[in-house]
Structure 1
Amino acid sequence: MMLRNLAFAFASLLLSAFSAMAQDGGLPVSQCQAIAQNLPHAQFASFRPSGVQLTQSGTKRSLAEREEVKITFVGHSTYFIETPEGIGIATDYSGVYQPYRTPDVVTMNHAHSTHYTLNPDPAIRHVLHGWSDVPGEKADIHEMIGDVYIRNVVTDIRTWSGGIEQNGNSIFIFEVAGLCIGHLGHLHFELNEAQYTEIGRLDVLMVPVDGGLTMGAQSMSRVVQRLRSSLILPMHRFGPPLETFLAMFDGKFDIAYAKQQTITVSMRSLPKKPTILVPQGL
């Protein structure tokens, strides 16, 4: 319990510094990497009973609500993330799957046209490509937008011809309200040690479960188990039944099914045991 309290206090201090740097116009040091390096044995366990709390906001926001991030599965690999300050982020945005309002930020990956568009809605203020248009270069994203810090970790992807496109995919990481939220994008290869180090801690992980169009279920399950996020949100479902992916965990993770369309999560409400939460609409 003391270790949990220490971890929570450390995160709170980092979050305060994070906010101050944002107000000064500078970019923060990644809290996800810092906590992962400084508290290797700490987990942000729930201060409530186990299980993700799915809540609906009232007219007056409590302190707890100001710490909450809302996540809605929109379709394919697109999740819509809403921060406490109201920044809306659509992941792997192609324009086909639309959230209920225009996003402030969209992230994209280069593997397939269902994961990006070169003609996004002009009303979207921030369009973040997970690849570089300059051969041999990496996309290098460090953006402070409202109350969320967005960064990326690049990975290679397969091409239609069977070759390799270096750095064609980005794992996007969203650091907000003390949470570290990661979206694996169109991940084709298991991560190496340098990439795991660069990622750091992820509390919430969005993972493709297509069974082979990205990676096979066994390879993907190894990545998920290594990252050991508190909350795992499946996406990109094709091919084998979802149960094929879920069976890979053999009791190591809890399995739950969302009762509402929008998942509300905070650092305080993360489940004690790593949980795969299947969203509505998958």
Structure 2
Amino acid sequence: MQKPLTFLGAAAIAAALALPVTAQETATADPSTVVATVGDTEITLGNMIVAWASLPEQYQGLPDDVLFQGILDQLVQQTALAQQYSGDLPARIELQLENERRSLVAGEAIEGIMEDPLDEADVQAAYEADYGGAEQAPEYNASHILVETEEAAQAVIEELNDGADFAAVARDKSTGPSGPNGGQLGWFGPGAMVPEFEEAVVAMEPGKVSEPVKTQFGWHVIKLNETRVPEAPALEEVREQIELQIRQIRAQEKIEEVTAAAKVDRSASEGIDPSVIKQISALE
């Protein structure tokens, strides 16, 4: 299969990243502005803007002058190469162009659906559905001491029962990354810890120390410091995700609606071996 042309070489990228960043005034773009011609073919600023928008993120952050020259060079080279090509295009190219156009037009249709204004009542209803009547999951604040064996865990418990300070023992004996911090794990909710650890914490009372708990990491002695049930977030805190959720549902419903309304006949695909989609050589 055809590979895309490289935008900039590694040396050019390294040189560009070493350049100082300078403040520049933002010019007004006129997409119809012709920036170069290759024979009778015009390359416009609009062509360059679209090329920039399709670049990987690591390229888009390069200095403007480097981007401008690199994109212009690429478009000039591509145009010159396209002009010298003779004969019919391979089937794979024609099909790729067909797929690309279909994808872009469909994407534009979805974009229009996603950008339609939202009714505030719908936003409020979605918020109430997600947070209004739902009881928030409890959160836990715990510390632990991680050791390699059950015997070592029992020895830690005996030491704590004799009055040793949990944080001091954790700093001295815990093999986990939280050891230097006195074993403190901070606040966490359901699903944040491995099942065995979470099950032990949920069954504990604040201020208590657990019996040895075995997980894939070793043996834990856990102290539950406190628990809390967080309040539901205010609408404004989650408005962005609520609105995105509504827009995504709306887009999916529209996709299903137009697909159901379209005259679709898939019968010709029946009986075809699914593995044939990997036969790229058939397009040569």
Would the TM-score normalized by the shorter structure come out above 0.5?
no
| Structure (1 or 2) with the greater strand fraction | 1
The structure, 1 or 2, with the larger RCO (C-alpha pairs under 8 Å, 6+ apart) is 1
Q: TM-score range by the shorter chain?
A: under 0.3
Question: Structure 1 length as normaliser, TM-score?
Answer: 0.18
State which structure, 1 or 2, has the greater radius of gyration over its C-alpha atoms. Answer: 2
| Structure (1 or 2) with the greater helix fraction | 2
